Structure 1
């Protein structure tokens, strides 16, 4: 899979040395000819959602912390949500794929409470300009793979990179077994 679409995952390859993205898994939220936007799923912060977003703490999935969504606009937040019922989209919800979407955090919590199976809040995002992401993929920086709804809401995201690669068909699954430091192999 090399086509990037909303809902796809970008998995950092061993060749990607940018410290913002080493061993990351990025959920793509928006892909247009003008650029692309996603959030890093496996970088939790120590900051509790309750400390920065009044009212949303009771709705977020565990761990109830902000995740570092990427290096762009880290003072802003994006909320990724999973619907209980895809036929019951609450106010402020924008569909991405399947039951997955984003919630406008200016929406009153009581209007979405009970309609979500999961919610995760990301400080910042990963963004690419026109053709930038395509160049990085062609250069071997990213694997493009399908997502599963649960990827964005894992209680312990530390093993997400390996787990996503492990479930891929063919040779791609073998990359999940690479040592952290190939020199030690």
Structure 2
């Protein structure tokens, strides 16, 4: 089993009922004794980056709901450390954060590959011991983060594809109904 650490994916168990995390995949960016922090990769927000940050002149850049905490903050992960400075590499080729003003300037100048950056409003947070308890309850399946999943454009397929990437035992879970009593 993959250990909890920065740069892993938390794949929601097919029967997880929490509406914030049902059928989600969370990129874990920080995991310490004092708590954990990450971003939901597959819940599209109903506005675009230029609608929230007027300085962004490129339209239709998607934003994802990173989680239910601090929905008045914007975060990002990327694959472009040569253009975006100040980020922290959390898994091979995946960086969390960096200098936001330079991100905006580089987007406006066309210097950022928009397929290699993902923006989030809010984040997912767990207090000390909370995520460990959820692991004991089998709420999450843990796997190393692959850039192909982190930066996937079709958010509706990320959860299924994350399970399928884990092998045949998990692949069949991707087809489980949300409520098995309706099957």
Shorter-chain TM-score: which interval?
Answer: 0.7 to 0.9
2:84 is aligned to 90
Cα distance in structure 2, aligned partners of 1:124 and 1:105:
18
CA contact (8 A) 1:27 1:39 kept: yes
Q: 1:127-161 deviations in whole A, cap 9, x for unaligned? A: 01111101101111111112210222222110111
Cα distance in structure 2, aligned partners of 1:49 and 1:57:
9
- TM-score w.r.t. length of structure 1: 0.85
Of 121, 146, 150, which aligns to 2:148? 150
Q: What RMSD, in angstroms, separates the aligned Cα atoms of the two structures?
A: 2.2
Of 42, 61, 66, which aligns to 1:64? 61
Unaligned runs of 5+ in 1: none
Structure (1 or 2) with the greater helix fraction: 2
- Change beyond 3 A, Cα 1:111–1:169: same
SS of the residue corresponding to residue 181 of structure 2 reads helix
C-alpha deviation, 1:67, in angstroms: 0.8
C-alpha deviation, 1:119, in angstroms: 1.0
Cα distance in structure 2, aligned partners of 1:151 and 1:179:
22
- Deviating more after overlay: 70-79 vs 116-125: 116-125
- TM-score w.r.t. length of structure 2: 0.86
Runs (4+) off by over 6 Å: none
CA contact (8 A) 2:84 2:99 kept: no
SS of the residue corresponding to residue 45 of structure 1 reads strand
1:103 is aligned to 97
- Change beyond 3 A, Cα 1:28–1:173: same
Paired positions, count = 179
Unaligned runs of 5+ in 2: none
Of 170, 173, 176, which aligns to 1:175? 173
CA contact (8 A) 1:15 1:140 kept: no
1:80 is aligned to 77
Of 156, 159, 181, which aligns to 1:161? 159
SS of the residue corresponding to residue 123 of structure 1 reads strand
1:121 is aligned to 119
Q: 1:61-112 deviations in whole A, cap 9, x for unaligned? A: xx622210000001011111112xx6x3632322211111123353323468
Structure-to-structure mapping, 1:5-16, within 5 angstroms: 5-16=5-16
